[in-house]
Structure 1
C-alpha cells in the first residue's frame, strides 16, 4: 500500500492490532467501527471471530475493506457504508473496535475524501462522544470494546460519561505518535498553545500521547 494512500494503517491501528495479538483467539460477533483499510477485520477473521461487521462513512474505505477481505478469502464479513451506529439497527457485538477522529481540524473536504481521518469537531470529542452514547445499546452482555483515545481530549471525561451508562473503562496501553504537518496545518489558530495535556513539543515536532482503552459493562468489569 503506498505511503500516500488515505487508508494506510496508522500507528493507532497498529496499537489496536498489538492488543488483539496480546488478547489471543477471538470468538463471537465483532464490529470494526470506522474500518478504513480493513486490516482489523482481517486480523479478527484470522483470530477466529465468528461474524465480522465493519462500518465506515467513506465509500472508498468500504470498497478498500471489502477488497482486502476478499483477497484474504474471508467469507463471513459484512461492511456497511454509514455514519457510526446508523446502519446497525439493534445489533449487538461481543467485541467492538474504534479509532475515532479526535482532532478539531478546520478544512473543507477536497472532493475525493471526507475529513473523517481527523475531524473530531470543535473540541475533538464530537465523534467520540456520539460513539460512546450508542455503545451501551450495542455491546453484548459480557462484551468488550477497544478504542484509541487521544491524551488531549480528556480521558477523565470519557470515564465519567461511561460510568453514567454503567460502563467501565481501563487503559491497557499508552503510546505516543508524531502529529504530521498535514494535521498541524489545519488545526484552529492557537489550538496547540491552549492544549498541553498529552502533547509534547520538541523543536518543530509535536508528539501526542494516546491510550488503548478497554470498555466493559460495569458488572463484567467488577467480576474481572
Structure 2
C-alpha cells in the first residue's frame, strides 16, 4: 500500500461480497475500473478470472500489479481514464469502486483526494461509467458498482436503465461518517444532502443487458 493509494475499506468489502456471488470461470474476462490497491482485481483472479485493472494513477497500477504477484496471480494493468484505457474491448464482468464523495468546489480533485472526491454531486465519474457500461459489457456481461446514497442511487439506476441495462441494488450497508465526510458536514447540510444524520448508506448496484 504505497502512500496516496486508496486503502480497501467498507465499500471494497461490500463490492467484494457481490463479486463473489458472480459466476466466474477461467474464461471470465474481468475489468476492474479504478483499481486502486488491486484488492478487487486480485480477488477476481483468485476466483479464476482473467483480470485487467485500470487506473489513472501509475502508483495504483504498480500496487495492483505487485499485490497480484504477492498473491500468486498475474493481473494485467492498463494506465488510462476509465474504459478509454481498453478501447474496443468487452468484458464479462466490470467491477468499479469510483470516487463518489460530494466535494465543495468545481475544480478536479488533486493528490490523494482523487480517490474519493467526485464533484459537488459526487457523480463526476459515476455518470461516465453509466454511459460507458453498455459498450464495455459483453452481451451477457455484468456491471457491479459501489457508491454512497449521497451521490444518488436512483440517478444511477435511471442512467443505467436509459442505457438499455437492467439494474438493481444487490448490497446495502450503513456506517458512521468517516473523517472526510465529518470534515465537510456543515457544507453537506447546507446542500441538504444529510439532514441531521451522521451516517451514510453504501450500496452495490448490479446491471446487465436487458
- State the TM-score, normalized to the length of structure 1: 0.83
Match of 1:194 among 173, 191, 194: 191
Name the counterpart of 2:60: 61
**TM-aligned CA deviation for residue 21 of structure 1:** 2.8
2:204 equivalent to 1:207 = no
Mapped to 1, the partners of 2:89 and 2:112 lie a distance apart of: 26
- Mark the CA change 1:141 to 1:64 in structure 2 (over 3 Å): closer, same or farther: same
2:121 corresponds to 1:123:
yes
For structure 1, the 5+ residue unaligned runs are 219-224
For the 8 Å contact 1:105–1:183, the answer to whether it is kept is no
Q: TM-score, normalised by structure 2?
A: 0.88
Q: Matches of 2:66 and 2:14 in 1, distance apart?
A: 23
Counterpart of 1:222 in structure 2 is none
Distance change >3 Å, CA 200–CA 148, structure 1 → 2: farther
User: How many equivalent pairs are there?
Assistant: 208
Deviation at 1:207, TM superposition (A): 1.3
- Determine which structure has more spread, i.e. the larger CA radius of gyration: 1
Give the Å deviation of 1:152.
2.1
Whether the 8 Å contact between 1:58 and 1:114 is mirrored in structure 2 is no
Cα offsets for 1:81-104 (capped at 9, x unmatched): 211112111110000001111112
1:58–1:133 distance in 2 versus 1, CA, 3 Å: same
The residue that corresponds to 2:35 in the other structure is 35
The answer for unaligned runs of 5 or more in structure 2 is none
Q: Deviations over 1:68-121 (max 9, x none)?
A: 01112213x21112111121111100000011111122488998x342211111
Secondary structure, aligned partner of 1:136: helix
